[in-house]
Amino acid sequence: MNPNYQGQGYGKYMLIEASEIAAKLGKRRIDLHTWGGNLKAMPLYKRTGYNWVPNTRVLMESHIPGIIGCPMFSDFFAQHDWYDSLKIDIKQEMDDIVEDEIGVFKYHFEGENGDSLDVTIDREAKGICGFSLTMNGKTISASIRPRTHIGYIGIGKYPVDLKILNNNGETVSYSVQVKSGDGLMAHLDGAPSGQIEDAGWVNLDGFYEVTSNAVHLDREIIPDDKIATQAEWNLTIDNKTMSLFSGLIPTDAVTISLGPDFSSISPGEIGTIGVSLRNNTKDAIRGEAVLTPPLGRRISVQRIRFTLKPDETFETPLDIHTSKEENGVIVPIKISVHIDQEGKTVFAKRATMNIPIIGSTGAVAYKAVNDFFVIENENIRVLLNGILPHVIRRIRNKNLEIPHSGWSLLPEIGYPFPRGGSEWERKKFDVSYVNNQKYAEVKLTGESEERPGLFMTISYRIYAGREDLEIITKLENSGTQAYENLGIKIGGWLPFMGQILYLPLDEKIYKLDNVNWFGGRQLPKDPNRYHESWAASELSYGRGVLGFIWHEEGISDIRIMRQWNLPRVEYKLPNLDPGSSTELPLMRLMVSQGDWRKVRSLWARLNGKTLPIHVPPVMQSDLEIGFVHVGADSKAPLMPTIMANRGKSTKVEFRANVLQNEPVSCEVRISLPEGFHVDGKREIEFSVEKTGCDDPIIHPLNVTVENGSSWIARDGEILLRFTNRVERRPLIGLIYDTSVETKRTNEKIGTRTLHTVHSGSYRMGVSPDYRGSLVHFGEKGKESLFMDTFPETKPFIWNDKHYSGFNPRLIGMTAWDWLTGLQKEEWSIREKDVGQWTGYELESRFKHANGLKGILFKVQYLLLKGTPLVYVRLAAENRSGTWKEFRLGFHGVPKPGGVPQSQIHGVVNHQRILYEPTPSDNSFYIDPEEGWSAYKEPESGLILGFVSTTKTSPTLEYENSGDKGQWATIDDRRRLSANDSTSLSGYILQAEQVEDVEALKNMASDLE
């Protein structure tokens, strides 16, 4: 209902109209689904005749159509409006009315002059089971009641009473006919017709029998299923005819189960399985269960005698012998249960216990004793409902603790797709099983009622040794007419409480972990935006990943959520002429111990793709915030810091890219760090009417900074108040200074050339002759922050030679001696300036280093003018013509204050650490998501900081080499095909506080 029209009665009139239309169409009932907290609508639903079915979330049933459409009540409703005369006590609770052990719904209508109508609905049979009608002082009433609502399958007779009372002032005639439903036999004793005098009554006895073909129904598990085991009693009183309905819940007298529920045996084992028998009746029972194995199969028990009290369970162990050669085999053990009753044996239950034998290369599909369809291998198990609808109810990785129960992945045919439920949810499919050496499969086949002759076959398939489920749909037109404009949709819900969603969108990999982000309308529905056809939801504490892979061909719409909902995928299908067919692999569902990379790897393997592992994917978040220079390209890297030139006006743009498919409005407030101003103010505010995937926020700023401010400030904040979320981000300020003297010098020191850039108080020295290293870094006139032996190379620790400063680290993966050839490579050097950054770029095509020949390497060292912040980047281009695999990066020995060992600050295993080194050797990696470490010399307080921009793999390593020194390393493993390229970047800085290093952990990976 449009909010502009709420509260004006339109909803009520629509519900009234719906009931009257349904009555004219001969319908007995309308179902409505809502939720218990719908405090506004629930009273309206109840006031218009809806009842909350007990133990459901929340199914409401209105039996008004069957009541106002009943011929017996036509005179009453001709004189009295049904809505005005309906009297109901409205409560925000379930309508759980039980009369004589029978669940019912009650309706009471009051008209003028004492006219009234009371109608009772049998809650199981979903129809009128009794009424009392008074008009003009005359009353007629009738009711049909079984003594219980429970009927045990194949056992017993259940009395039922039909009672008619006549207070009509004269004799009336009656006749009764009964029609049995599926699984129920109804019998009537006594005359089916006759007359009843005034103030008289007639009571007709009968009984029900639940036949052996009825299907057991557990109301605790399935509270809203409609039973077929019901009878329709056609009642005629003085030429007015109506139907009364009554039914029984079909229940097994004895339930057979296994312990565990879905037991499997490894090849070569003697597997022990618990066989349980439970008494569901209200009386003590005795009997025998007979177990019959396949010919030649050894089991330990074949006959089980039992005596069970009501609700009591008896379990006995059953040993099954297997051989090592068996794999992907089903052992069907037949079990029949007989109960002793009144001196004779009565058959109660027959079932087949299918026990799978599964090894590492096996997969099986079978029907379980509890009526689930099961597909499993050694890694995963998938359960499909044996009752309607045949949806997936549970999926489990056997190596994880958590089974995931849901309601999902039953395809439906449409275009347009029905909004009120699918015919396939009501379809009783033909079920078959496929078991071979490669895979196991459950196949469901059914014919469409809406499109006669159109058959759909759904295959749920699990391959041996894998962790994914494949869903394939085949459509066949066996009719005489062509079907056009066909589509197929698949989706559902599964409570996998993923905290992080990964997906490939717009040529980027998005890592969506913000608590404000939930998916749905925030993500684009256009499948062309997804450059790879997968998504992965991870539990944040590393207990598993739920992955989805969809078919790219024909896909027209996709909707993805982070939690609960599975992706909803729609496909457009080709037209189907008579005799033609089409097959489509709809989706794969993976449940694994791994992470999102495992899902992506399966997608690549299935689609014949080679993943670009030479470049670790850059993780994009749902909200990217940063600053660029005015006029920068839309794809320019966003700096998470605001950078300004000391003493001058700096024009920048604030930009925010939000992953929001349907645009929302946003209010922005930027609280600038200390020393920063825009138009003389430290705080600015502005509004944006709409922002989303295609509408980024772009706002120009003219920034100035105070002269006395430190080069880094950490006290700013960005506040974005969207329509659907509020986001706060800390704002770091960096102040560079182009007014300070910046000069370059070149000098020959020994046999080596040193190129130095001086900017203000800081210097950075680079030598191409020294293996392309940054040999000096720090304040002018003070020791370098790294160990310094330049221009010499002296032995350092037994297994290496040390080079001054921060050195390129290049190692061929197959090379044992990687260092010797490296000394022979020649590097060229050129000056390099990128905006406010100044420094050098060095280049070398390797000819001597083992495993690296033919690769062109480029190294950048760029100093932010007037600051102690250096950007380092090492790029590699494979010009060898063959695949190359290697490690690349930088390493050096920090020595702030000339002291060989420093305290180490960082984040390891999700914990902030302060590591105090000892003379013992040690090493560890910094968490890649944090990617920063600070080396603090305790006496002087000097801090040397490192930041890695690669956040998808551990690249920042600390290593302690006794009491001789410490290594700081930024490196990663890469693999390049011919003509491919890759890069690795980071930052080094001298800082006053450890928090300054941490504040820069999200710096951009590329300056250009």
Q: Is the pLDDT of residue 240 over 70?
A: yes
pLDDT score recorded for residue 39: 67
DSSP 8-state symbol, 373: E
Higher per-residue confidence, 799 vs 902: 902
Percent of the chain with pLDDT over 90: 75
Mean pLDDT to the nearest integer, 611-624: 79
At 819, is the pLDDT very low, low, confident or very high (cuts 50, 70, 90)?
Answer: confident
User: E strand or H helix at 488, and its extent?
Assistant: strand 487-493
Q: Is the pLDDT of residue 452 over 80?
A: yes
206: left (phi over 0), alpha (psi -120 to 50) or beta: beta
At 879, is the pLDDT very low, low, confident or very high (cuts 50, 70, 90)?
Answer: very high
Q: Is the pLDDT of residue 796 over 60?
A: no
User: E strand or H helix at 558, and its extent?
Assistant: strand 555-559
Inter-residue contact 955 to 981 (CB < 8 Å)? no
pLDDT score recorded for residue 510: 93
Q: What distances in angstroms separate CA 110 from CA 65, 79, 87, 121, one per listed residue? A: 18, 11, 7, 18
Q: What distances in angstroms separate CA 746 from CA 670, 756, 823, 831, 871, one per listed residue? A: 44, 6, 22, 11, 21
Q: Is the pLDDT of residue 802 over 70?
A: no
DSSP 8-state symbol, 261: S
pLDDT score recorded for residue 813: 81
pLDDT score recorded for residue 822: 87
pLDDT score recorded for residue 800: 55
Mean pLDDT to the nearest integer, 691-706: 94
Higher per-residue confidence, 798 vs 514: 514
CA distance 54 to 51: 9
Q: Is the pLDDT of residue 428 over 50?
A: yes
Q: Which pLDDT tens digit goes with each residue over 137-176?
A: 999 999 999 999 999 999 989 999 999 999 999 999 999 9
Token pair recorded at residue 268: 């070569």
Q: What letter represents residue 491's amino acid?
A: G
Mean pLDDT to the nearest integer, 929-945: 94
pLDDT score recorded for residue 542: 60
Cα angle 772-775-776, degrees, rounded to a multiple of 5: 145
84-93, long-range: CB < 8 A, 24+ apart: 85/109, 85/110, 85/111, 85/117, 86/47, 86/49, 88/46, 88/47, 88/49, 90/43, 90/46, 90/47, 91/46, 92/36, 92/39, 92/42, 92/43, 93/52
pLDDT score recorded for residue 962: 77
Question: Which value, in Å, is the radius of gyration of the alpha carbons in the chain?
Answer: 38
55: left (phi over 0), alpha (psi -120 to 50) or beta: left
Q: First CA to last CA across the chain, in angstroms?
A: 52
At 581, is the pLDDT very low, low, confident or very high (cuts 50, 70, 90)?
Answer: very high
Q: Is the pLDDT of residue 37 over 80?
A: no
Q: Is the pLDDT of residue 726 over 70?
A: yes
Q: What letter represents residue 429's amino acid?
A: F
Mean pLDDT to the nearest integer, 521-550: 88
CA distance 614 to 493: 36
Inter-residue contact 703 to 675 (CB < 8 Å)? no
b/e sequence 898-936, b meaning 16+ C-beta within 10 Å: eebbbbbbbbbeeeeeebebeeeeeeebbbbebbbbbbb
At 657, is the pLDDT very low, low, confident or very high (cuts 50, 70, 90)?
Answer: very high
Cα angle 344-348-352, degrees, rounded to a multiple of 5: 135
Average pLDDT over the chain reads: 92
At 797, is the pLDDT very low, low, confident or very high (cuts 50, 70, 90)?
Answer: low
Q: What does residue 226 show for φ and ψ, rounded to 5 degrees? A: -90, 130
Mean pLDDT to the nearest integer, 965-981: 91
pLDDT score recorded for residue 420: 67
At 798, is the pLDDT very low, low, confident or very high (cuts 50, 70, 90)?
Answer: very low
Closest listed residue to residue 671, CA positions, set 679, 683, 657: 683
Mean pLDDT to the nearest integer, 574-580: 95
